[in-house]
A = this chain, B = another copy of it.
């Protein structure tokens, strides 16, 4: 199977076949991580670029009082720390939420790649801009949406992202996030995150069994959560 990074970047830019090949060849050293293990920890020196091949991971910060906030989910095809090697140390951690395979790309390999293929460089920059847009939208959720809206919005977003790398099946997709992790990402307690999920189920908006989430009514889910996909900058952003 082709590297999912290629599918992802194709959403932003048409890639030529030699560019695709090149992107495929960057996957060399692959490392497996167990569920709930640390890929990089806050304070670590920055040493390379990570590409998620399989599994889900997340960025997070832990406060001195033990509270945790997840600031992003990373799914297959996502590349993280594209340019962190500019900074000395990580200011946040990255950890897996499922078993995961990640490819570690040396900084100089990245530099060579983007130097040689301007198309790839552009596509990677687009993807960085979208990551930033996602963070802004999370701030909007955390600051201005209530519990139901936050969870619904996250589901819409993750569905669109999973769909962009074609890992969805119809309106359902693998969503391996526990209630505690969900809570840490939408700024709720695990208990209330669970109740909120229940509410969405009772309103027949989703079904969620055994890590498989099915969206039963995307339009209502989107309007309820004021989800507007344009910030994801996915070609059309059309809902089919």
Instruction: Pick from B68, B126, B143: contact of A87, CB below 8 A.
Output: B126
In this complex, how many residues of chain A approach chain B with their Cβ under 8 Å: the count is 44
Question: In this assembly, does A67 line the interface, its C-beta being within 8 Å of a C-beta of chain B?
Answer: yes
Closest B residue to A228 by CB, please name it: B64
Copies in the complex: 2
Question: In this assembly, does A142 line the interface, its C-beta being within 8 Å of a C-beta of chain B?
Answer: yes
Docked complex: A190-236 residues within 8 A CB-CB of B: 226, 230-231, 233
Task: Specify the main secondary structure of chain A where it touches its partner.
Answer: helix
Given contacts A71-B139, A86-B122, 15 further A-B pairs with CB under 8 A are A61-B136, A63-B140, A69-B144, A72-B136, A83-B125, A83-B128, A83-B129, A84-B129, A86-B126, A87-B129, A91-B133, A91-B136, A132-B135, A135-B135, A135-B136
28 contacts across the A-B interface (CB closer than 8 A): A59-B136, A61-B140, A63-B145, A63-B226, A68-B144, A69-B140, A69-B143, A71-B136, A71-B139, A71-B140, A72-B136, A83-B125, A83-B129, A84-B129, A87-B126, A91-B231, A91-B233, A92-B231, A131-B132, A132-B132, A132-B135, A135-B135, A135-B139, A138-B139, A139-B139, A142-B187, A143-B184, A144-B187
